[in-house]
Amino acid sequence: MIGQRLVRDVFGALPDGRAVERIVLHGAKGFAAHVITYGAALQALIAPDAVGHCDDVVLGHDDLAGYVGERRFFGATVGRYANRIANARFELDGEMVRLAANNGPHALHGGPNGFDRQLWQITETNEGEQPSVTLTYVSADGEEGYPGRLAVSVMYQLTGPSELSLAFRASTDRPTVVNLTNHSFFNLEGAASGTDILDHGLTIAAERFLAIDPTAIPLPTTPRSVAGTPFDFRKPTAIGARIRQDNAQLRNGRGYDHNFCLADDRQLRFAARLEAPRSGRVLELFTDQPGLQVYSGNYLDGSIAGKQGRLYRQSDAICLEPQVWPDAPNRSDFPSPHLAPGEIYRHHIVYRFSSRRGGA
């Protein structure tokens, strides 16, 4: 298999016997993305450090059983609506839509059986200079309470020597809401390094963020300025520099679990930069979405064993999730998540890796 840009094999079987496949896309100098059809998830992302040593930089599991077990969204494609919808309901075209609640009274990440719990189908592969795989899923009208038959696809593609792009598309036969994202947990020192991400440098291209209540629903106020708060990452700042400050918003999120407000022009643009001090790995994230949910792994509590048997604990990784703002179906002042028949939902993410000298 030496020299192959795309490798396809079986990752395991679901309890009902259906096979879960894995596709590995190979780039330059050991860079590789491993995608599985269960949850259309990024199961591994291999990236070189400043001296060329390669490590997997996303949390997850070594086998299918871990993904089918307790739900933690490792690397998953999340939908039909990523993040939270307050009280698991919203009004659409004058009618109340009631969803399946799975986060207290709220709906989170598509409900109890969201897209991350579904077996997606591989519909296209490309083994060329920019290898890719396209996975599809059809969400039935009424699934988890959402209206409309939604046809969804996500294409994973290596668009550079150390660059992974994700392109989401969706169409519906009835008015509905859509908000898809990837839920990878990044640790640029390595998923099994035994280190946390509190010393990672983080830059976010956002001047405002959404304040939340203790159940992580945005407050009924306008976005707040990041200036003078622990949420100001306009310049590179260690994630842990202010995470323990006595701040009401940090208490409500148990750390960072907040939407940062990006430009709402739906153009691909720089959103965030993550830097690991020892390995020298650098991740730049580009998106065309109006929000970036930043989650510092606050609910990882050591109860889940991941890759190489490592117990995942708080701040072992950070999630950078481009998306529409949380609870937007209930907020006319937020960017709209509405999708009508004849329209195409599109969402583009680029993860661009590099390294800087100075990492050990």
Q: What is the pLDDT of residue 2?
A: 46
- Catalytic site includes residue 338: no
pLDDT for 60 beyond 80: yes
Residue range 207-232: mean pLDDT, rounded:
98
The CA-atom distances, in angstroms, between 258 and each of 44, 322, 323 are: 25, 12, 12
Residue of 183, 258, 347, 348 marked catalytic = 183
Q: What is the pLDDT of residue 357?
A: 72
Q: Which residue type occupies 214?
A: P
For the beta carbon of residue 261, count every other beta carbon within 10 angstroms: 21
Q: For residue range 294-350, what is the model confidence (pLDDT) as tens digits?
A: 999 999 999 999 999 999 999 999 999 999 999 999 999 999 999 999 999 999 999
For the beta carbon of residue 209, count every other beta carbon within 10 angstroms: 25
Residue of 144, 200, 321, 348 marked catalytic = 321
Q: Would you say the C-alpha torsion 353, 55, 295, 238 has a positive or negative sign? A: negative
Q: How far apart are CA 176 and CA 87, in angstroms?
A: 17
φ/ψ bin of 127: left (φ > 0), alpha (ψ from -120 to 50), beta (otherwise): alpha
CATH fold of 6-355, please? Beta-galactosidase; Chain A, domain 5 (2.70.98)
Domain extent listing, the chain: 6-355
Q: For residue range 8-27, what is the model confidence (pLDDT) as tens digits?
A: 999 999 999 999 999 999 99
Structure tokens, 329: 């179906």
pLDDT for 3 beyond 90: no
Contact 79, 179 (CB under 8 A): yes
Cα(first)–Cα(last) distance of the chain, in Å?
32
Q: What is the pLDDT of residue 156?
A: 98
Q: How far apart are CA 334 and CA 142, in angstroms?
A: 24
What residues contact residue 167 under an 8 Å CB cut-off, 6+ apart?
154, 155, 157, 346, 347, 348
Q: Which residue from 109, 106, 102, 77 is spatially nearest to 89, judged by alpha carbons?
A: 106
Contact 38, 54 (CB under 8 A): no
- Catalytic site includes residue 284: no
pTM score above 0.95: yes
